[in-house]
Amino acid sequence: MDSPAPQATDFRRQFVEFAIRIGVLRFGEFKTKAGRASPYFFNAGLFHDGASLGELARYYAQAALASKVPFDLLFGPAYKGITLASATAVALAQLGHNVPFSYNRKEAKDHGEGGNIVGAPLAGRVLVIDDVISAGTSVRESEAMIRAAGATPAGVLIALDRQERGQGELSATQEVSRSFGIPVVAIATLDDVLATLRARDDLRGQVPAIEAYRERYGVAA
């Protein structure tokens, strides 16, 4: 499908507020996978009930449409991406955009229909739905499966872009975009997080630590 113009422009800040409200986005002292001491932590695994997953899916759907990335199918890499892609497909249908979805098994099935892809056949322009990008491993595996099926990777949609350097000067999302030649878009970025915090008297005090962290590890948008 060719994505139309978004129906709303303020969903990114609303998503950050939502993540704070249910404790998915937290502030304090946390250690990242890279071993860095981070003043904030985003744990998408805490979207673990029907209400929060439904609301999350609506934000994914809004971000997919707002990205203007044309896509024909959603793909969710195992395991977190399975729930995210299926829920996003439901949310898109509720917005009047019914698109198929599929996901992969970690191990190929040797009975029944066999194979390791479940759901709609991989075809056309495929948008990968995931929570975050760290090392880019799931995107790399997804891209290989999509191309092996004769389909075209259209882009990657994640929940939050930390806009943080990986091993080099680029962020993990920038590395993926450069390596595979596809756009990587997020519901919200660290810029959106900071804008939200600055507007709240109760959380404005978290801004200096996050800005200092970004000064040390951040990348340009």
* Residues known to be catalytic: 109, 111
Are the C-beta atoms of 77 and 141 separated by less than 8 Å? yes
Biggest CA-to-CA distance, the chain: 58
H or E element: which one contains 207? helix 207-217
Three-class secondary structure of residue 158 per DSSP: strand
Q: Which residues of 101-111 are buried (b: 16+ CB within 10 A; e: fewer)?
A: bbbbeeeeeee
- Which is nearest to 171 in space by CA: 214, 211, 128, 142? 214
Q: How far apart are CA 83 and CA 28, in angstroms?
A: 28
